[in-house]
Amino acid sequence: MERLYFDVAHLFAGSLVLMSFVLLYQDRMTGLINVFTMHAVVLSLSVGWQAYAQNAPHLYITAGIAVLFKAVIIPISLQNMIERMGIHREIEVVGGIGPTMLLGIALVALSLAVVLPATAAADPLAREDIAFALSVVLLGLLMMVTRRNAVSQIIGFMSLENGLILAATGAKGMPLVVEISVAFSVLIAFIVIGIFLFRIRERFDTVDVQELDRVRGSTK
């Protein structure tokens, strides 16, 4: 039975890494939001399985929060945001999709090479979940630095935070109040970022980071 716990937990954690690669591959805004929704659903399934495997009922609440905020509220808000801003077009990726995917594979290999030897004495389920979680965090960071659209950078930030939740639930022991606090902090951060994006869009008629840099340079 213990082997089944490991296999299912690794299946969900590995699926989350795979969904991060699919996020990196997306070059259209609507597809990006749909994949992010799936990213949140897989995270919720992973946390729900950890709740069952660890006999930790409070993690079911964490899974419910992840579904409600990240698979429902935030994707719907993002969809409304891009419709109001009129930015359904393709997303420009710095350096192209191919090199970005190769760099992502290198980051996953780096995560495994760093975490597994450093946590050799830890619980096997936790150490491998942390290795997968670090991969998700690094892939989220990679997405933030390789996208020129502010909305896609927000999605990169949210996927990065999904990796942090995966690490916290796999490592065990994080109090429920901290998890709820983090969830609300992310939601508030998302609302504030959304307000700023609308103001930027009204002021400069774009949320493309490269265009904003060009405008800033021309005003100096």
Query: How many domains does one find in the chain?
Result: 1
> Residue 3 falls within a domain, yes or no?
yes
Rounded-to-integer distance, Cα 183 and Cα 65, Å: 7
For 218, the 3-state DSSP assignment is helix
| Residue 134 in tokens | 């670090």
> Residue 218 falls within a domain, yes or no?
no
pTM for the full predicted model: 0.80
pLDDT at 147 exceeding the cut of 70: yes
> Residue 103 falls within a domain, yes or no?
yes
> Residue 41 falls within a domain, yes or no?
yes
Residue 174 is predicted with a pLDDT of 59
Higher pLDDT, 141 or 151: 141
Return contacts of 56-62, CB within 8 angstroms, 24+ apart. Answer: 56/172, 58/176, 58/179, 59/169, 61/176, 61/179, 61/180, 62/165, 62/169, 62/176, 62/179, 62/183
pLDDT at 90 exceeding the cut of 90: no
pLDDT at 140 exceeding the cut of 80: yes
DSSP type of residue 220: -
For tokens 């930030």, name the residue.
157
> Residue 216 falls within a domain, yes or no?
no
Residue span of the structural domain in which 181 resides: 1-210
Residue 158 is predicted with a pLDDT of 85
pLDDT at 122 exceeding the cut of 60: yes
Residue 15 is predicted with a pLDDT of 92
Q: Mind listing the pLDDT tens digit for each residue in 61-83?
A: 888 888 888 889 888 888 887 78
> Residue 220 falls within a domain, yes or no?
no
> Residue 54 falls within a domain, yes or no?
yes
Residue 192 is predicted with a pLDDT of 65
> Residue 205 falls within a domain, yes or no?
yes
